[in-house]
Chain A
Amino acid sequence: MRKVYVVGAASTRYGKFDSSARELVVDACAAALDEAGVEPKAVGGHFIGNAFSVAEKQGHLGPLVNTTLGMPEAPSYTIETACASGSSAFREAFVNVAGGFADVMLASGVERVSQLDTITATSFFAYGSDFTFEGANGCSFPGLYATMARSYFQKYGATEEDLAHIAVKNHENGALNPKAHLQKRIKVEDVLKSMVVASPLKLYDACPFSDGAAALVLASEDVAKRLGDSRVEILGSGRAGTIATLQDRPDLTMIPSTRLAADQAFKMAKIERKDVDLSEVHDCFTIAEAVALEDLGYVKRGEGAKAAREGLTARDGKLPVNPSGGLKSKGHPVGATGIGQIVEAYEQLLGRSGPRQVPDAEVALTHNIGATGGSCGVHLLGV
């Protein structure tokens, strides 16, 4: 297996835009290629993470995007693993370079959902779960995580206030991120007083529906060295699944695919949990970050919910989590999210993150979940 590097990274701002998905992703790809100093003709293939382009009455995004970028001959693939589509696209681009099938690959992600009304958008998100047994049985997508949260509270005695601290911490970081969807600080009381979405989760426990795109250029060692110093090595890549339907799982307080994917990534990277300087973790809801910290093996079972409250996961804490603001504050453009996490890792590792920089970061982890964990991608990057 060859060494693979990220040599260029870019993202649009996350938010609500009039541009279509194809325009958003072209902007991100063009900026990433430009930053890498790679000509489009040199790209050996393009994986695009996207879940809902049919909501814009468009499938088969790849050829449209590649043609616009001036690389119509490059093969393209749209990858859909719900909210994990971005990390899945990245994984496949990595595999192509590592396996010697290409020297340069493009991995991108995009979503545009702001044209949908709330009810339609809610249904689209629910399609990512087992809709026959969950959505068509009355459960919204937030409802699934809410059901996990209530189970978690029962088992470990955690509280809504514990989770509120996760939202506050991520907004604290997102307020410093010019690309973030919700660039504002919030207080614990704001979270607790916000509208209930699916008890015990409230509006401020949930990430927003965002539009946005992000892109990464991956290259082999030879190409990366020719391109200069703006490179970050992909140290480890893990992908796993778990039982698709929440009700079929014996324990509702964990997402086993996270542990499996993380173990693969750490094994490949030959490093330990303690070697990680910052983590971008899939916090579609506050409870998801709490559970992820445990599933990733950072803290013991039952300790994830209080990590933010105790300052452990603050930007200047011992275990910085979501310095970008996370899905919660930076936003969640579904197919772009996993790519955007790696854009953040790239910028942090190169010391380009301005006021939200984690000092002297050398190793970063990204963790991206599809639905309630039916898909999970974990990557480790380093300089």
Chain B
Amino acid sequence: MAEAQTQERLTLKAQKDALRDGRIMGLECGACGERHFTPVVRCSKGHDALRVKEYAKEGRVVSYTIQVVAPEAFLNEVPFAWVVVDLDGGGPRVSGWVPFIAKPDELAIGQRVKFTPSYKPGMVFEKV
């Protein structure tokens, strides 16, 4: 017999609904503490003790690019910065976009940013 599961699931829809409410929800491994934003059913070490967790809204830019040609939903948003962000308190790493950034020197690796709920597609961040 398998042991009683403490495993929790996070659907993409539930995650998206939470983002609309301004909450960044992901999964944390109850066995080793590994954190995930893109949902998984096992952590990278193979543990199946994932729990839904709300993460910090602020973090630091790890890397970025300036988008002048973007996927269809973003055609009216260019130019903007696409950013990879390490959220405070030990992650996880997420990505999103910062509107109105047209040049690479208007942003920097290490810049503090904050998630801002929006009617726009994707996860919008702004500089802190």
A145 vs chain B, min Cβ distance (A)? 9
The CA-CA distance from A134 to B69 in the complex, in Å, is: 14
**A186 interface hit (Cβ, 8 Å):** no
**A1 interface hit (Cβ, 8 Å):** no
Task: Find chain A residues with CB under 8 A from B70 CB.
Answer: 122, 138-140, 143
* In-complex Cβ contact of A247 among B37, B66, B71 (8 A): B37
Q: How large is the interface on A (under 10, 10 to 19, 20 to 34, 35 or more residues)?
A: 35 or more
- A121-149: CB near B (< 8 Å → 1, else 0) gives 01100100010111111111011001110
The CA-CA distance from A118 to B82 in the complex, in Å, is: 20
Given A133-B95, A137-B95, A139-B82: A198 and B71 interface contact (C-beta under 8 Å): no
Q: B63–A252 contact, CB under 8 A?
A: yes
Q: How would you classify the secondary structure of chain B's contact residues: helix, strand, loop or mixed? A: mixed
Stretch of B2-10, B46-54, B73-81 contacting A (4+ beta carbons < 8 Å): B73-81
Given A245-B38, A247-B95: A136 and B121 interface contact (C-beta under 8 Å): yes
Given A246-B84, A247-B84, A248-B38: A136 and B69 interface contact (C-beta under 8 Å): no
Residues facing B in A194-209 (CB within 8 A) are: 196-201
- Return the chain B residue nearest A139 by Cβ: B82
Q: B66–A196 contact, CB under 8 A?
A: yes
Task: Find chain A residues with CB under 8 A from B84 CB.
Answer: 147, 246-247, 252
Residues facing A in B52-110 (CB within 8 A) are: 62-75, 77, 80, 82, 84, 92-97, 103-104, 109
The CA-CA distance from A137 to B67 in the complex, in Å, is: 12
**B12 interface hit (Cβ, 8 Å):** yes
Task: Find chain A residues with CB under 8 A from B68 CB.
Answer: 196-198
Q: Count residues of chain B with CB under 8 A from any CB of chain A.
A: 35
The CA-CA distance from A277 to B90 in the complex, in Å, is: 45
* In-complex Cβ contact of B69 among A151, A197, A250 (8 A): A197
Task: Find chain B residues with CB under 8 A from A126 CB.
Answer: 71
Which of A126, A133, A247 has most B Cβ within 10 Å? A247
A266 vs chain B, min Cβ distance (A)? 25
Task: Find chain A residues with CB under 8 A from B37 CB.
Answer: 133, 247-248
Given A130-B38, A133-B38, A133-B95: A143 and B67 interface contact (C-beta under 8 Å): yes
A202 vs chain B, min Cβ distance (A)? 11
- Return the chain A residue nearest B122 by Cβ: A137
Residues facing B in A73-126 (CB within 8 A) are: 118-119, 122-123, 126
- Return the chain B residue nearest A253 by Cβ: B63
Task: Find chain A residues with CB under 8 A from B122 CB.
Answer: 136-138
- Return the chain B residue nearest A145 by Cβ: B65
The CA-CA distance from A247 to B63 in the complex, in Å, is: 10
Q: A147–B63 contact, CB under 8 A?
A: yes
Q: B71–A150 contact, CB under 8 A?
A: no
The CA-CA distance from A132 to B69 in the complex, in Å, is: 18
**A154 interface hit (Cβ, 8 Å):** yes
Q: B82–A147 contact, CB under 8 A?
A: yes
- Return the chain B residue nearest A134 by Cβ: B95
* In-complex Cβ contact of A198 among B12, B65, B96, B121 (8 A): B65
Q: A150–B93 contact, CB under 8 A?
A: no
Q: B95–A139 contact, CB under 8 A?
A: yes
Task: Find chain A residues with CB under 8 A from B64 CB.
Answer: 147, 150
Nearest first, the 5 A-B pairs at minimum CB distance are A146-B65, A138-B97, A199-B66, A137-B122, A151-B63
Chain B residues at the A interface, C-beta cutoff of 8 Å: 12, 36-38, 44, 62-75, 77, 80, 82, 84, 92-97, 103-104, 109, 121-123
Beyond A135-B71, A139-B97: 14 further Cβ-contacts under 8 Å?
Answer: A122-B71, A136-B73, A138-B67, A147-B64, A147-B84, A150-B63, A151-B63, A197-B69, A198-B67, A199-B65, A200-B65, A243-B44, A247-B93, A248-B92
